[in-house]
DNA sequence: CTTTGTTATGTAAGCGTTTACATGAACATG
DNA sequence: CATGTTCATGTAAACGCTTACATAACAAAG
């Protein structure tokens, strides 16, 4: 008649309460760090929880409490290391606050994208972190209208002020361009990113400003419009090198395109950096591993993730509509894909 | 007295039921694709849902229904593109089945790892996909004991038969080694992965078998024990090149280490592939982008993700304990980091 | 026209929490 | 010693859904 030896029938707060000799409400209070529990009682409950191997049911907590302790991350894709870095940052930050991360990829939901964000906002997650490649005005509108907490990562421009963390794209491009100028380059090709993105626009502006400041005439033919993908870099480099008066340096708006540029340059038998200097943007892991290692503008990706997560958690906790944009500094990483231009005799 | 114009007070099945003129249970039946609903009624409910913009509360469904429609993915990290590929596969598969993906990183939970998996198993997710770098016997034991559905990705060996999907590591290493032999290499260095991993062991075995089959004596000094990280490749290459009689080719157990090897080789002023041929394993995206493009053994990462997700969904749906291991074929990708050895006159 | 069998729909009891409110104990105050 | 405060704990009502069970509706069969 040992009705005792049940192996593992769900342990709920009721079991814990019985074990500790208190009411289940007290157990709940302990779980939620409520002040009003005598510390002696708390210890008793805690040890009962331990003994029984209690672990709270999140679904139930969410239902009753109205929050899921989960935040959603919406990303376009995971192809490049780019997102990985950001996730690492988010993740470390989240680990401090008992939150879980749920991952959504937009490519996956392209079809039903319409009510997608709306769905998210309903119950599943408390807040959203958005890494969006295209202009997300519709998302953002929905989110704002519903007053749903979110933070934009690495996106800016077109949308008016809402919580976002980005990098100093303008500054980064300016610095890199100026560095090339100081090396002695006069004709510097530029391959843009997707121009519907604020960051791409800012990089282009930074490039232009540096030229202007240093009294170098801007040539329209030296600017090639790309889309942030490797083939764009390849095509852009080809186009630029085909010019009557080709550039001695090419600045690509991201590393992936810069690698495309490298390919194109090598395919033409030109040497890097002797014949052509190349600069990228992002400092993704492999940019240090290609040959020659790529000079690039580092984006503080991991930090962006961390800061974004912090912001969101803050909004969640304090309910404060912290609608500010934070810009993290970029940094020029000088490697071996850049040098002074060879003297080229007309 | 227009008590009507509330903007968006939560829409539950009750509202929908009222709107459609049925009981809430019928609405629930429609949601769950229950057979026993007159199609006319179903349509009425469906359109009511649409009109009201109803979206089910997942927490509540989980609580009541006992399953979360969410699966967890446990990964060590997201540094390399490696995991990204796998996730892409999982993701596409999941998108067919209305399941969500929740992401856990082990580094994040290293501290409380003990009951970690146990916690997961409780309510939050219906099943687990595990990509584990180290030997996860303890995890697996817990999971098995609790009879919790899971599938192992790219891991094998030490653990007895449980659902897993991997690649033909042995075969891949064998083929690559034989390819080098056929090119004329006689002294082939090998850099292992973490030897506590089945895949690393299998790759080593494949290498050895190819040597044996082709009557090439195995030399202990040609095998360097690495850990799958880039610096190991660098160190391994240095050690191998310092030998009295150095190898003419180096086969690294993954691409990341192969890039380390490339660095080391270049730093010594040797040329790839003229002086040293290099082969990697994995075929991560950047292996095509380094210079020279790396010859490597492709792992069908994306497919592994897909298959693993399928298996898990199957287990979840049919409750069948499909404890088999699936091996997906690897393929040798020949690029430019390999060639016949230069004739070296002693 | 009653009986039996189907099928469609409604009713009510959970699922495991949180939390507003009620209760009770302990203790100081007048 | 009655009374008011404060703090610790208990009680009960949600949270939004699923699902076993009950019931109504309607044919077909006797």
| Separation between Cα atoms, residue B13 and residue B11, nearest integer Å | 7
CB A178 within 8 A of CB A210: yes
CA distance linking residue A6 with residue A149, whole number of Å: 44
Partners of A147 in beta bridges: none
Q: Give the least confident one: A97-111, B15-29, B330-344.
A: A97-111
- Beta-carbon contacts of residue B110 (< 8 Å; ≥ 6 apart): none
Report residue A308 as tokens: 């974004």
Provide the CA A36 to C1' C30 distance, Å, integer: 29
Measured distance CA(A151)–CA(A310) in Å, rounded: 10
Task: Pick the residue of A7, A13, A53, A58 with the most B CBs within 10 A to test the interface with B by mutation.
Answer: A58
Chain A, 121-140: which have a CB under 8 Å from a chain B CB?
Answer: 122-124
3-state secondary structure B70-136: EEEEEECCCCCHHHHHHHHHHHHHHHHHCCEEEEEEHHHHCCCHHHHHHHHCCCCCCEEEECCCCCC
- Our measurement of the distance from residue A62's CA atom to the centroid of its chain's CA atoms, rounded to an integer in Å, reads 27
Q: Is A73 helix (H, G, I), strand (E, B) or coil?
A: strand
The mean pLDDT value for B286-292 works out to 80
Nearest CA in chain B to A263: B289
Do B289 and A108 lie within an 8 Å CB cutoff? no
Task: Kindly give, in sequence order, each residue whose CB lies less than 8 Å from that of residue A120, ignoring residues fewer than 6 positions away.
Answer: A72, A74, A104, A128
What dihedral angle (degrees, nearest 10) is formed by the CA atoms of B182, B186, B189, B190? Answer: 50
* Segment B64-119, tens digit of pLDDT: 988 888 899 888 776 666 788 888 899 888 878 878 888 887 765 554 554 566 56
Pick from B194, B79, B191: nearest CA to B136: B194
Structure tokens at A87: 């996730």
Chain A partners within 8 Å of B62 (Cβ): 59
Query: Model confidence at B4, in pLDDT bands (50, 70, 90)?
Result: very low
Q: Which of B84, B108, B146 sits opposite A79 (nearest CB)?
A: B84
* Helix or strand (DSSP H, E) at B171: helix B169-183
Placement of tokens 């709270």 in the chain? A56
The answer to whether the bond into B159 is cis (omega within 30° of 0) is no
- Burial label for B79, CB within 10 Å (0-12, 13-18, 19+), is middle
Distance from CA of A70 to the nearest CA of B (A): 9
Beta strands in B4-69 (DSSP E): none
Separation between Cα atoms, residue B289 and residue A42, nearest integer Å: 58
CB-nearest partner of A88 from B78, B81, B230: B78
Three-state DSSP class for residue A53: coil
Q: Does B114 or B165 have the greater pLDDT score?
A: B165
Rounded CA-CA distance B24/A251 in Å is 61
- Nearest CB to A59; choose among B84, B123, B259: B123
- Window 289-308 of B: residues touching A by CB (8 A cutoff) are 289-291
Q: Which residue of A has its CA nearest to B11?
A: A122
Mark yes or no for CB contact B60/A124 under 8 Å: no
**What was the pLDDT predicted at B21?**
93
The CATH 1.10.260.40 domain(s) of chain B lie at 13-56
b/e B110-133 (16+ beta carbons within 10 angstroms → b): eeeeeebbbbbbbbbbbbbbbbbb
Say whether residue B186 is in contact with chain A using an 8 A CB cutoff: no
Residue with tokens 């298996």: B311
* A contacts of B285 (beta carbons < 8 Å): 79-80
Q: Give the H/E segment covering residue B220.
A: none
pLDDT higher at A223 or B149: A223
Residues 35-74 of A with CB under 8 A from B: 53, 55, 57-60, 62-63, 68, 70, 73
> Chain A interface, mutation test: which of B69, B97, B123, most A Cβ atoms within 10 Å?
B123
8 Å CB contact between B117 and B128: yes
Tokens 């040329």 belong to residue: B271
Mean pLDDT of the region B167-185: 97
Q: Encoding tokens for residue B322?
A: 């499909």
Query: Which part of chain B has CATH 3.40.50.2300?
Result: 67-167+301-327, 169-300
User: CATH number of the domain at B169-300, out of 3.40.50.2300, 3.30.450.20, 3.30.499.10, 3.30.70.270?
Assistant: 3.40.50.2300
The residue lying closest to nucleotide C12, measuring its CA against C1', is B25
Q: Determine the Cα–Cα distance for residues B206 and B327; give it in Å rounded to an integer.
A: 15
Q: Which nucleotide is nearest to A42 (CA to C1')?
A: D8
Cα(A90)–Cα(A148) distance, integer angstroms: 19
* Window 232-251 of A, Cβ < 8 Å to B: none
DSSP B242: T
Closest C-alpha among A308, A300, A307, A303 to residue A281: A300
Query: Closest nucleotide to A15's CA, by C1' atom?
Result: C16
Q: Count of residues for chain A? A: 346
CATH code assigned to A68-167+301-328: 3.40.50.2300
Q: Which residues does strand D reach (CB under 7 angstroms)? A: A 22-26, 29, 35-38, 40-42, 60, 63-64, 66; B 10, 12-14, 24-25, 28-29, 31-32, 54, 56-57, 60-61, 63-66
Residue in chain A closest to B93 (alpha carbons) equals A108
Provide, in whole angstroms, the distance separating residue B25's CA from nucleotide D20's C1': 12
CA distance A37 to A111: 50
- Looking at the structure, give the CATH architecture of the domain made up of residues B67-167+301-327: 3-Layer(aba) Sandwich (3.40)
State the average pLDDT over residues B293-312.
94
Nearest to A67, CA basis, from A306, A313, A305, A308? A313
Could you give the CA distance from residue B100 to residue B105 in angstroms, rounded to a whole number?
16
Q: What are phi and psi of A220, to 5 degrees?
A: -60, -35
CATH for the stretch A13-56: 1.10.260.40
pLDDT in tens, chain A (346 residues): 333 334 457 889 999 999 999 999 999 999 999 988 999 999 999 999 999 988 888 889 999 988 888 899 888 776 666 788 888 899 888 878 878 888 887 765 554 554 566 566 566 889 999 887 666 667 788 788 778 889 999 876 556 678 899 999 999 999 999 999 999 999 999 999 988 778 899 999 999 999 999 999 999 999 999 988 888 999 999 999 999 999 999 999 999 899 889 989 988 889 999 999 999 999 987 788 777 899 999 999 899 999 999 999 988 887 766 668 899 999 999 999 999 998 654 4
User: What single string gives the DSSP state of each residue in B299-343?
Assistant: P-HHHHHHHHHHHHHHHHHH------EEEEPPEEE--SS--PPPP
Any idea which residue has 């929908």 for tokens? Answer: B16
Please list the residue range(s) of chain A that carry CATH number 3.40.50.2300. Answer: 68-167+301-328, 169-300
- B221 or B324, which is more confident? B221
């Amino acid at each position: 008649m040992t009705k005792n030896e049940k192996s593992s029938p769900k342990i709920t707060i009721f079991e814990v309460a019985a074990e500790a000799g208190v009411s289940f409400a007290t157990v709940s209070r302990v779980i939620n760090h409520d002040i009003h529990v005598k510390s002696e009682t708390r210890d008793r409950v805690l040890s009962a929880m331990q003994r029984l191997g209690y672990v709270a049911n999140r679904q139930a907590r969410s239902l009753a409490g109205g929050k899921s302790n989960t935040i959603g991350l919406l990303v376009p894709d995971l192809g490049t290391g780019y997102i990985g870095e950001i996730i690492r940052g988010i993740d470390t930050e989240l680990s401090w606050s008992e939150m879980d991360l749920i991952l959504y990829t937009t490519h996956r939901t392209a079809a039903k994208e319409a009510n997608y964000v709306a769905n998210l906002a309903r119950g599943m997650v408390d807040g959203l972190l958005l890494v969006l490649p295209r202009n997300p005005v519709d998302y953002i509108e929905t989110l704002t209208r519903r007053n749903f907490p979110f933070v934009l990562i690495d996106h800016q421009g077109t949308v008016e002020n809402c919580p976002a963390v980005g990098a100093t794209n303008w500054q980064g491009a300016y610095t890199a361009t100026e560095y090339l100028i100081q090396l002695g380059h006069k004709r510097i090709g530029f391959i843009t990113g997707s121009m519907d993105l604020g960051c791409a626009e800012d990089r282009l502006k930074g490039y232009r400003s540096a030229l202007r400041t240093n009294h170098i005439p801007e040539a329209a033919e030296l600017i090639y419009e790309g889309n942030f993908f490797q083939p764009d870099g390849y095509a852009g480099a080809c186009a630029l090198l085909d010019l009557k008066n080709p550039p001695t340096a090419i600045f690509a708006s991201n590393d992936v395109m810069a690698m495309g540029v490298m390919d194109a340059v090598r395919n033409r038998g030109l040497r890097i950096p002797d014949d052509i200097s190349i600069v990228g943007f992002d400092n993704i892991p492999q940019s240090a591993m290609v040959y020659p290692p790529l000079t690039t503008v580092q984006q503080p990706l991991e930090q962006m993730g961390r800061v974004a997560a912090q912001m969101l958690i803050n909004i969640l906790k304090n309910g404060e509509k912290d609608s500010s944009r934070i810009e993290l500094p970029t940094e020029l990483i000088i490697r071996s894909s850049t040098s002074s231009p060879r003297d080229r005799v007309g």
